[in-house]
Amino acid sequence: MNGKKEAEKTSLKFLDRKLNYLSNKKGFLGVDNKFIIKEKVVIIPFGLEKTVSYGGGTKNGPKEIIKASHQVELYDEELNCEPYKKIGIKTLKPFKIDKNIEKALKKISNINKTLLEKKLFPMTLGGEHSITPGCIEPFVKKFKEIYILHFDAHADLRNSYNGEKFSHASAIRRCLDFKNVSLISFGIRNISESEVSFLKKNRFRINIFWAKDKARWNLEKFKKLIKNKNVYLTFDVDGFDSSIMPATGTPEPGGLLWNEALDVIKIASKNSNIVGADINELAPIKGFNSYNFLVAKLAYKILSYKYFY
């Protein structure tokens, strides 16, 4: 075995020993410590903030999402139950994130690989969107074909931004470096000329449901695209309209509203196999906890739909 593979194997063994959970009370949803949880889902707080280009604060996203989740009602009136009891959700204790972005991405990749080997569902709370290529790497290696379901205001298809190829503005482009990845994006309303050129050359593996067309979205087409596919869900919260989600580095008008986003996630949950997820780009605003709460409830909804549909 060469040195690189040996180092990765050692890293995975180290991670396996160090994947320590928060108590139920301190973790996602703040469930009573007396409740015995056999986990199916692991929440990974990963507040990476290295390449933000406008507003900052994403490093504080995970802790504020987890804090706000303690106020989320555990009963879901749509599903007529308390989903967490069936799902089983545990939260990793916060850990040091490498300053070097490539090392940071390798760490989240190794964590997800460890969780997949344990047959657990990873949900990463960012942090900036540059986390996603690291998050999906073990899924790309595990599955012959995988679709990314991408919610965002921005296409994130630049080859690099400000000289950084692992920029948040290049997150989805780096995911498409893997040849077995196809992309379905919702809510895009900000794209550069170079990204349009890339999009035209790769239409066979990229489908974009533009925000400007949302009143005319063909969701039957979406349903057919993801039918019986393995899907990784990545949700940049600036995919939401800036009227309901201003707490993000690059807010954009003309985006998704709450029920519009849930309708798409519900279709994906009913028709595909969602294998992992990340939510990113929350930049908390002091005193405005409703935005943190929205993201916490979104995370709970994604998991609830995943396990009940």
Q: What is the pLDDT of residues 62-120, one digit of tens each?
A: 999 999 999 999 999 999 999 999 999 999 999 999 989 999 999 999 999 999 999 99
CATH number of the CATH domain containing 53: 3.40.800.10
Residue 126 · residue 47 · CB < 8 Å: yes
**Statement: residue 300 has pLDDT above 50:** yes
Q: Report if residue 108 sits inside a domain.
A: yes
Q: Report if residue 87 sits inside a domain.
A: yes
* β pairing state of 121-126 and 41-46: parallel
Q: Which comes out higher in pLDDT, residue 4 or 283?
A: 283
Q: Report if residue 73 sits inside a domain.
A: yes
Nearest to 148 by CA among 263, 226, 34: 226
Q: Which residue has the tokens 């994604």?
A: 302
**Please, which pLDDT band fits residue 1 given cuts at 50, 70 and 90?**
very low
Q: Report if residue 3 sits inside a domain.
A: no
Domain count, the chain: 1
Q: What pLDDT shows up at residue 51?
A: 54
Spatial separation of the C-alpha atoms in residues 52 and 130, rounded to whole Å: 9
Spatial separation of the C-alpha atoms in residues 299 and 235, rounded to whole Å: 10
Q: Report if residue 210 sits inside a domain.
A: yes
Angle formed by the axes of helices 219-226 and 258-271, nearest 10°: 40
Q: What pLDDT shows up at residue 99?
A: 86
Spatial separation of the C-alpha atoms in residues 282 and 279, rounded to whole Å: 8
Q: Indicate the average pLDDT of the chain.
A: 91
Asked if the peptide bond before residue 127 counts as cis, ω within 30 degrees of 0, the response is yes
Residue 232 · residue 148 · CB < 8 Å: yes
Instruction: At 126, list the tokens.
Output: 């960012």
Q: What pLDDT shows up at residue 160?
A: 73
Q: Report if residue 295 sits inside a domain.
A: yes
Spatial separation of the C-alpha atoms in residues 29 and 74, rounded to whole Å: 8
Nearest to 73 by CA among 304, 227, 277: 304
Q: Report if residue 20 sits inside a domain.
A: no
**Statement: residue 2 has pLDDT above 70:** no
Indicate the Cα dihedral angle 68, 70, 73, 79, nearest 10°.
90
Q: Report if residue 249 sits inside a domain.
A: yes
Q: What pLDDT shows up at residue 167?
A: 80
Indicate the Cα dihedral angle 127, 274, 292, 31, nearest 10°.
-110
Q: Could you report the per-residue pLDDT of 15-39, keeping only the tens digit for each? A: 555 579 999 999 999 999 888 889 9
**Sheet hosting strand 181-186, strand order edge to edge:** 89-91, 41-46, 121-126, 273-280, 230-236, 146-151, 181-186, 206-209
What domain range is 123 assigned to? Answer: 37-308
* Amino acid sitting at position 126: G
Q: What pLDDT shows up at residue 33?
A: 85
- Say which residues have a Cβ less than 8 Å from residue 275's Cβ, sequence separation at least 6: 121, 139, 143, 146, 230, 231, 232
Which DSSP string corresponds to 66-122?
HHHHTTS-S-BTTTTB-THHHH-EEEBPP----SSHHHHHHHHHHHHHHHHHTT-EE
Sign of CA dihedral 87, 231, 237, 216: negative
Q: What pLDDT shows up at residue 179?
A: 96
Q: What pLDDT shows up at residue 18?
A: 59
Q: Could you report the per-residue pLDDT of 125-182, keeping only the tens digit for each? A: 998 889 999 999 999 999 999 999 999 999 999 987 767 787 878 999 999 999 999 9
Residue 255 · residue 242 · CB < 8 Å: yes
174: left (phi over 0), alpha (psi -120 to 50) or beta: alpha
**Statement: residue 54 has pLDDT above 90:** no
